[in-house]
Amino acid sequence: MAKVLIVAEHDGSALNPSTAKCVSCATAIDGAEVDILVLAADTAGIAAQAAEIASVSRVLTIARAENENPVTAVLAPQIAAVAGDYSHVFGPSTTYGKDLIPHVAALLGVNQVSDIMTVEGSHTFKRPVYAGNAIVTVEAPESSILVATVRVASWPATGGGNAATVEAVDGVADLPSHTRYVSLESAVSDRPDLQTAASVVAGGRALGSEEQFDLIYKLADALGAGVGATRAAVDAGYCPNDMQIGQTGKIIAPGLYIAIGISGAIQHLTGIKDAGTIVAINKDEEAPIFEVADIGMVGDLFQIVPELTAALS
């Protein structure tokens, strides 16, 4: 029977939705027993949230002062120390997981499987390659522990209502002294987080300037949506790079995605392929974005967007 250990992602107080999505992936393995590992300075609140996720058998906790901040070199040895009792170790394919999970795989001496989007068997998965233009089937050896990241945009969050047991474990490991936490600088916004927002409004280079990008913010605020952008808009300085969506940015799966002044380059489409309804506004009726859009509006965004914002307001 498969025993899956999922490394919880959190901000020190709240569990990230990516954890429940990893559980959804793990439960797609027939007969899998799923545990969640929480590493923090104070694990109580986070562990309680994890225990509510459906299909979770146990929540394991390692409470150490060194775990107050998510430093990969500190967390990975503790995860590797606990992983010996498991057949699988999963983490989210987010910034957090992409940094941490490869380190865990290296400590365990195995190759990592990246971006699981479909489970075909206990050790057989499908994942995207070539910017999502192709899907490959990956089969990992069953003779060793399988370490993988889960493409969270491809999985729904598992529901709640559970009451899993919470157990403290030692996770005894030699922690490095050459790597230490210095500081964290991150953007602060009152808008929904881009990767978890139910609706997202995004703008492209066609906006023309940072000032004109304000049209995107106003429409997003009228919808209560998150705000994103193409790489071209970010490179042009219209908005910060933490808003970038696509192959080299964030992979999102909102229920509603509104693309404004976005042509639809394949690198961008990779980031929105799992969106529910895609709405495109572009003056070029031949733009590739219309090939994937559920609703398309051909016209001047500088006229359409203010009218749409006014109607919603």
Query: In 3D, which of 281, 247, 242, 251 has the Cα closest to residue 266?
Result: 247
Confidence of residue 46 (pLDDT cuts 50, 70, 90): very high
Query: What is residue 306's predicted lDDT score, i.e. its pLDDT?
Result: 97
Give the C-alpha separation, 174 to 81, whole Å.
10
Contact 116, 251 (CB under 8 A): no
Structure pTM? 0.84
Q: Is the pLDDT of residue 138 over 90?
A: yes
Q: How far is CA 10 from the centre of its chain?
A: 12
Query: Tokens 């609706």 — which residue?
Result: 199
Quote the mean pLDDT of the chain: 94
Report the DSSP pairing between strands 112-116 and 256-260: unpaired
Give the C-alpha separation, 69 to 90, whole Å.
20
| Other C-beta atoms lying within 10 Å of the C-beta of residue 12 | 13
Q: Is the pLDDT of residue 301 over 90?
A: yes
| Other C-beta atoms lying within 10 Å of the C-beta of residue 272 | 26
Query: Tokens 């029977």 — which residue?
Result: 1
Q: Is the pLDDT of residue 192 over 80?
A: yes
Query: Tokens 């459906």 — which residue?
Result: 54
Return the CATH superfamily for domain 199-312.
TPP-binding domain (3.40.50.1220)
pLDDT digits (tens, 9 = 90+) for 110-121: 999 999 999 999
- The residue extents of the domains of the chain are 3-168, 199-312
The three-state DSSP-derived secondary structure of the chain is CCEEEEECCECCCCECHHHHHHHHHHCCCCCCEEEEEEEECCCHHHHHHHHCCCCEEEEEEEECHHHHCCCHHHHHHHHHHHHHHCCEEEEECCHHHHHHHHHHHHHHCCCEEEEECEEEECCEEEEEECCCCEEEEEECCCCCCEEEEECHHHCCCCCCCCCCEEEECCCCCCCCCCCCCCCCCCCCCCCCCCCCCCEEEEECHHHCCCCCCHHHHHHHHHHCCEEEECHHHHHCCCCCHHHEECCCCECCCCCEEEEECCCCCHHHHCCCCCCCEEEEEECCCCCCHHHHCCEEEECCHHHHHHHHHHHHC
Cα angle, residue 189 at apex, residues 187 and 190 outer, rounded to 5°: 165
Percent of the chain whose predicted confidence (pLDDT) is above 70: 100
Give the C-alpha separation, 157 to 178, whole Å.
37
Query: What is residue 177's predicted lDDT score, i.e. its pLDDT?
Result: 83
Q: Is the pLDDT of residue 76 over 90?
A: yes
Amino acid of residue 195: Q
Query: What is residue 131's predicted lDDT score, i.e. its pLDDT?
Result: 73
Amino acid of residue 288: P
Contact 11, 39 (CB under 8 A): no
Query: Tokens 């908005």 — which residue?
Result: 239
Half-sphere exposure in the Cβ direction for 88 (13 Å, CA): 33
Amino acid of residue 32: A
Amino acid of residue 309: T
Looking at CATH, the fold of the domain delimited by 3-168 is given as Rossmann fold (3.40.50)
Same topology between domain 3-168 and domain 199-312: yes
Confidence of residue 279 (pLDDT cuts 50, 70, 90): very high
